[in-house]
Structure 1
């Protein structure tokens, strides 16, 4: 019997590491050392996303934001992160989790202020009508389906200024 995993199982290390961000500048460069492996699409999941994220010292999960239609959940596997919300800051350690209901207007963000890498799972629903709002920055993200050459479509972010002008 082979030790190689086959779907519906997989080894996350077999997936490509995605670095950087889809944000426009000047925001993209603020993310720091953030690496994601997109587990959900690799497993054929379409109704929610699952990412394994490695956040190095000084890294940020995202700009502080909230979603109109999507819900998010994070579970810290290794390390320590600071959770920033409208209520202030609190420290999350391995084994802690946080959830962000859709439409509540409470911006959230994870920041690695420590000296070691933190690793967490992020899970989120997908809704084509979603918008992500960024209370601290001049940014609004809308999601759209973009046709692909193979006949399928792919969900992409459309970055806008808060007044609706594109970046």
Structure 2
């Protein structure tokens, strides 16, 4: 496959999160590079976080690994009980099954660009800070008590 032309892949800020959780990621714009390149074993996503935007709700996956590389700008990696500044060239890994929710927040004044590597969630995904749970079997969001959204 030749060099990927980012400009040829439309950026979207679409989310599956129900309200009120969707508004935190409104300033997250992404391009699914893996899909555009025909990759099937894992996903690669080019992400722009505008100032104030979150990469996601804080979460962890039962069965999917994740890896991020900051390309430019800055973000704060928020995990259980800690905040870590991330700058261009910094990387973070999130092994599957580790119950330590994570997300990135752009608290700066300029956009943050990053690449996220992983595959779409096929197993349960947990959101420790909010009343939300992704049921891997049905691919649907539920309340923590199992009620559907």
TM exceeding 0.5? yes
The question of 1:131 aligning with 2:124 is answered: yes
Matches of 1:20 and 1:40 in 2, distance apart? 17
The question of 1:119 aligning with 2:101 is answered: no
| Deviation at residue 8 of structure 1 after TM alignment | 4.5
| More RCO (CA 8 Å, sep 6+) | 2
Structure having the larger proportion of residues in strand: 1
Matches of 2:38 and 2:28 in 1, distance apart? 24
The question of 1:166 aligning with 2:148 is answered: yes
Q: Which secondary structure state, in structure 2, belongs to the residue aligned with residue 115 of structure 1?
A: coil
Q: Which secondary structure state, in structure 2, belongs to the residue aligned with residue 18 of structure 1?
A: coil
Matches of 1:124 and 1:105 in 2, distance apart? 17
Residue of structure 2 in register with 1:108 after alignment: 102
Q: Which secondary structure state, in structure 1, belongs to the residue aligned with residue 34 of structure 2?
A: helix
Question: Does the 8 A contact of 1:20 with 1:28 survive in 2?
Answer: no
User: Which runs of structure 1 show a deviation greater than 4 angstroms over 4 or more consecutive aligned residues?
Assistant: none
Residues 127 and 136 of structure 1, relative CA distance in 2, 3 Å threshold: closer
Question: Does the 8 A contact of 1:9 with 1:43 survive in 2?
Answer: no
Residue of structure 1 in register with 2:26 after alignment: 32
Matches of 2:121 and 2:89 in 1, distance apart? 28
Q: Please say which structure displays the higher CA radius of gyration.
A: 1
| Deviation at residue 22 of structure 1 after TM alignment | 1.1
Count of residues in correspondence between the two structures: 149
TM-score by length of 2: 0.94
Matches of 1:47 and 1:162 in 2, distance apart? 30
Q: RMSD across aligned C-alpha pairs, in angstroms?
A: 1.5
Matches of 1:37 and 1:144 in 2, distance apart? 26
| Deviation at residue 13 of structure 1 after TM alignment | 1.4
